[in-house]
Chains A and B, each alone.
Chain A
Amino acid sequence: GQQVMQIPQYQHVQEGEDFTTYCNSSTTLSNIQWYKQRPGGHPVFLIQLVKSGEVKKQKRLTFQFGEAKKNSSLHITATQTTDVGTYFCAGEGTTDSWGKFQFGAGTQVVVTP
């Protein structure tokens, strides 16, 4: 079955530095979503990528969907303390798995001032 894996599990970043978290699926995805969960909060939708090779930006966040639609990445530039939280990717499968999202385990980001 479809499996979504996220790396790294933990990311310690110095404020001002850049970092990237990666999401890999064992099968081709129809689309992928990214969520952010602040400490004590619940996952909040950030973005959805649908097209092969798609790149979207939200201020300091850059999201990319791989050409084969099996990988995705989230790159944050000039990290700020407000970026603290856990970032989840969720992939929607194709054909038999259509309409079902599987979440990665998340990347917990800690920002050091």
Chain B
Amino acid sequence: SQTIHQWPATLVQPVGSPLSLECTVEGTSNPNLYWYRQAAGRGLQLLFYSVGIGQISSEVPQNLSASRPQDRQFILSSKKLLLSDSGFYLCAWIINTDAFFGQGTRLTVV
């Protein structure tokens, strides 16, 4: 069966520290993977998407980056977190009319 895993669920990090959020999928190959972030009052905002290994498209300029080191792995990173990076981040796997969402990560930068 198709599943998506995202971790950690909750994270508290100091300003200036690095970030690594990981998302993995099972039950499929060559999935299209997405990283979203909750924007206040505007719902989930698409940050990055990837259609294959090493292929990353960025939707908005920001302090974050994404990587796809393996077919079923999608990583959201930052070298130095800012206070404004706090929020809810969600990984998704989308194929045609089906979308599978991770549990999300609530990141608090202190």
Contacts and interface: CB of A to CB of B under 8 A. Distances in A.
Contacts of A88: 99
A72 interface: no
Interface residues of B, number: 23
Interface in B26-77: 34, 38, 41-46, 49
B98 A86 contact: yes
Given A42-B99, A101-B38, A35 B88 contact: no
B10 to A, nearest CB: 8
B106 to A, nearest CB: 4
B81 interface: no
Contacts of B43: 33, 35, 45-48
Nearest to B49: A42
B101 A40 contact: no
A77 B79 CA distance: 48
A101 B104 CA distance: 7
A100 B44 contact: no
Contacts of B96: 39-40
A45 B42 contact: yes
Contact of B99 (A45, A48, A106): A106
A85 B97 CA distance: 7
Contacts of A45: 42-45
Interface string A91-103: 0000000011111
B87 to A, nearest CB: 8
B92 interface: yes
A100 B98 contact: no
Interface of B: 9, 34, 38, 41-46, 49, 87-88, 90, 92, 94, 96-99, 101, 103-104, 106
Interface of A: 33, 35, 37, 39-43, 45-48, 85-86, 88, 90, 99-103, 106, 108
7 nearest A-B residue pairs (beta carbon): A45-B43, A99-B106, A103-B101, A86-B97, A33-B43, A39-B97, A100-B104
